[in-house]
Amino acid sequence: HVSERTQYLTTARNLLVSGADAVERLMSSYKEIVELAGYTSRVGHMLEVFEQVSQGQYQKTTVAAKSLVRSPGLQFANGQIVIRGEICDSPDGSIELQEVPIVTPNMDVVVPSLSLRVTPGSHLLITGPNGCGKSSLFRVLSGLWPVYAGRLIRPLHCTMFYVPQRPYMTLGSLREQVIYPETLGEWRIKGVSDAMLEACLEKVSLAHLVVREGGWDSVADWKDVLSGGEKQRMALARLFYHKPAFALLDECTSAVSIDVECSIYQTAKDLGITLLTITHRPSLWKFHSQILQFDGDGKWSLSTLTQQEKDTGVLREAEAKS
């Protein structure tokens, strides 16, 4: 009888311990469950929006009350801005905006009307306070945001490559970091050798990664393995791999030393890549021929940089345009 009671006691203890472990795991998983529920809700809402858009029934929730006053040139219908802008082919390979407003997805008009022209080889520097429309301009140029008014003129098969301040490191090998967003299958079809990829890393002072990380086929969690500066330089290595006509650079060298940064910009110009750069660093002025300044209140000014302004990084006073 004692042995049976001991067996029952041991079994009950083990069940209690297992039950306690299960409850602990359930409690510790609460955060992950809540995150999963949030992700599921957002993906579900996205799929609903896709379905409504395909049926032409989508109505966006906006906070556009003040936009009605700030932008009398825009047309509104049912609380939405009517898309009346045109996108035209550029015969000479240039990019031009003609009285195009910069409008956020919430219908907040950041810049009521913007006009500029960037020809191949005419590099544009973009400055201004936070939230003034610098990154939003890139979204309009690349087609992510609609042209609500005016005219956007760009080459029909224009290649643009956007490099953000915090680049995305994809899952996969070291080779896949350089060729992103291409896949390995597309890379093989192009016939690009590893030596060519290493040359791209050499241009951004990252050639040592091949040996340090164990070769091109090494797989790692690259967002944790690479430092902030290395991730930014990896994104610029992608720029040299893809060689687009226009590079949209959004403070993409903020964690890179000035000497390496200058070398990268000069290399990009030598390759014939036209640069549109958002930066606060005066050291980059010398690589550009025009400067676009936003004041944060919807006004802007566009001027040609003089040699003295390129050397000093100081712009002469100019009257802002609206």
pTM of the model as a whole: 0.76
183-193 residue pLDDT tens: 999 999 999 99
* 223, 231 Cβ separation under 8 angstroms: yes
Q: Which top CATH class is 96-312?
A: alpha beta
Residue 64, pLDDT score: 45
Q: Which pLDDT band holds residue 158 (cuts at 50, 70, 90)?
A: confident
- Per-domain boundaries in the chain: 1-56, 96-312
List the 160-163 sheet strands across, edge first: 160-163, 246-250, 274-278, 124-127, 290-294, 300-304
Query: One-letter amino acid identity for 237?
Result: A
Q: Which residues are bridge partners to 291 per DSSP?
A: 125, 303
Q: Which pLDDT band holds residue 41 (cuts at 50, 70, 90)?
A: very high
Residue 319 has pLDDT above 60, yes or no: no
Q: Which pLDDT band holds residue 310 (cuts at 50, 70, 90)?
A: confident
Residue 251, pLDDT score: 93
Residue 139, pLDDT score: 93
Structure tokens that stand for 173 in this block:
């090998």
Peptide bond into 72 cis (omega under 30): no
Q: Which pLDDT band holds residue 322 (cuts at 50, 70, 90)?
A: very low
43-81 residue pLDDT tens: 999 999 888 877 777 666 554 444 444 565 687 777 778
279-288 residue pLDDT tens: 988 999 999 9
Residue 65, pLDDT score: 45
Q: What is the mean pLDDT of the chain?
A: 88
